[in-house]
Amino acid sequence: MSERVYRVVQYGLGPIGQELARLAIERPSFRLVGAIDIDPAKVGRDVGEVLGLGEPVGVVVRPDAEAVLAETRPDCVLHATGSFLDRVFPQLETAVRASCNVVSTCEELAFPAAGHPELASRLDELAREQGVTVLGTGVNPGYVMDTLPLFFSGVAQTVTAVQVQRIQNASTRRKPLQEKIGAGRTIEEFQQLVAAGSVRHVGLRESAYLIAAGLGWTVERYEERIEPVIAERRIVTEYFTVEPGRVCGVDQLGRAIVGGSERITLHLRMYLDADPAYDRVRLEGATPLELVIPGGLQGDRATTAIVLNAVPRVVEHPPGLVTMVDLPIITVRQ
């Protein structure tokens, strides 16, 4: 591998975006050359100040994406502003029109054809026209519930079904995530949040479709259900105290029907004080195969890692909108 230094612009400075910027600053293989955010509390300030690094890094947060990209001409944009492709599409379009490669944490971009086939083909076309590559990735979707089982299937003679369990201990995660999973809510409040679409982990469907695509399967039907996990005892985290009987997290199950039967099962449980936490992949077949990550991959750290580690592969790849299955193996880039 080359010892090239990749010039990156951070697009979005929420919790994940800040962590991405921090990593890009720390690592010798990357140079942060620009930062985009519309939050008035961040605009005009040095990224070092926003991140609390104790010293300026010479990059000021600006709201005008087009100008920042035209001036800095980065090798790649690290995009982390939202989960829904239709909402972030104009931002991705701006980056691609500026001839920038993009790695995005947008969950729906991990397999955009699942939810937005038309936007996906427009983005693909535009990326080819501009000669750049666009990838959506992260730990989930992007790795642990899709690319990892696909990679594991390489040593399988037959796979009849794929099952992934991800049990995350939300107590170790940041406050917005604990909020998002409904910590401290009543069951009724939780169900209202589900109905409003605000406690759902976005990306389970994308993982299922990515697995299917990687295995050459056609998803006939995809179903998802969300239930609360109820605290059995009092749980105290840095941010919340949850009494017994209240919600302490979310239990989400995604199922894809292929050839008339359930062949992809993705089970995500994120709740406070989950113990043991782990990620587990099981491939059914003549010889079932199992793989376990004890403790489970920590969501934010693993997501920021894979986004940055993906940059060299994305920059070197032929133009277009790609998924994790199209790229060579992504390795740590320090």
C-alpha 97/C-alpha 127 separation (Å) is 8
Is residue 32 within 8 Å of 21, Cβ to Cβ? Answer: yes
Residue 165 or 192: the one with the smaller Cβ distance to a copy of itself is 165
- The helix/strand/coil state of 130 is helix
List interacting residues with a copy of itself (CB under 8 A): 1, 3, 23, 139, 143-144, 147-148, 150-151, 153-159, 213-216, 283, 287, 289-295, 297-298, 301-302, 304-306, 309-310, 324-334
Judging by DSSP bridges, how do beta strands 247-258 and 261-271 pair with one another? antiparallel
Q: Shortest approach of a copy of itself to residue 282 CB, angstroms? A: 11
Question: Which residue lies nearer to a copy of itself by CB, 199 or 308?
Answer: 308
Least gap, CB of 103 to a copy of itself (angstroms) = 12
Q: Which residue has the tokens 């409040």?
A: 189
State which residue, 213 or 248, has the beta carbon closest to a copy of itself.
Answer: 213
Q: Which is nearer to a copy of itself, 51 or 293 (CB)?
A: 293
Q: Which is nearer to a copy of itself, 102 or 159 (CB)?
A: 159
By C-beta, is 81 or 153 nearer to a copy of itself?
A: 153
> Minimum distance from CB of 265 to a copy of itself (Å)?
17
Q: Closest separation between CB of residue 86 and a copy of itself, Å?
A: 27
Name every residue whose Cβ is closer than 8 Å to that of residue 198 and which is 6 or more positions away in sequence. 180
| Shortest reach from residue 29's CB to a copy of itself, in Å | 9
Least Cβ distance, residue 297 to a copy of itself (angstroms): 6
Nearer to a copy of itself, 65 or 277 (CB): 277
Give SS3 for 129.
helix
Tell me how far apart the alpha carbons of residues 329 and 296 are, in angstroms, rounded to a whole number. 20
Q: Which is nearer to a copy of itself, 62 or 282 (CB)?
A: 282
Check: CB of residue 297 under 8 Å from CB of residue 279: yes
Of 40 and 328, the one with the shorter C-beta distance to a copy of itself is 328
Burial 24-35 (b: 16+ CB within 10 A, else e): bbebebbbbbbb
To the nearest whole angstrom, how small is the minimum distance from the Cβ of residue 145 to a copy of itself?
A: 12
Query: What b-and-e string marks burial along 134-162, b requiring 16 or more CB atoms within 10 Å of the CB?
Result: bbbbbbbbbbbbbbbbbbbbeebeebebb
Backbone angles phi, psi at 183, to 5 degrees: -55, 125
CB of 58 to a copy of itself, least distance (A): 23
Token pair 């605000």 is at which residue? 198
Instruction: Supply the angle between the helices 117-130 and 85-97 in degrees, to the nearest 10.
Output: 10
CB of 1 to a copy of itself, least distance (A): 5
Cβ neighbors of 104 (< 8 A, separation 6 or more) are 77, 78, 79, 80, 88, 92, 134, 135, 136, 137, 307
CB 7 within 8 A of CB 74: yes
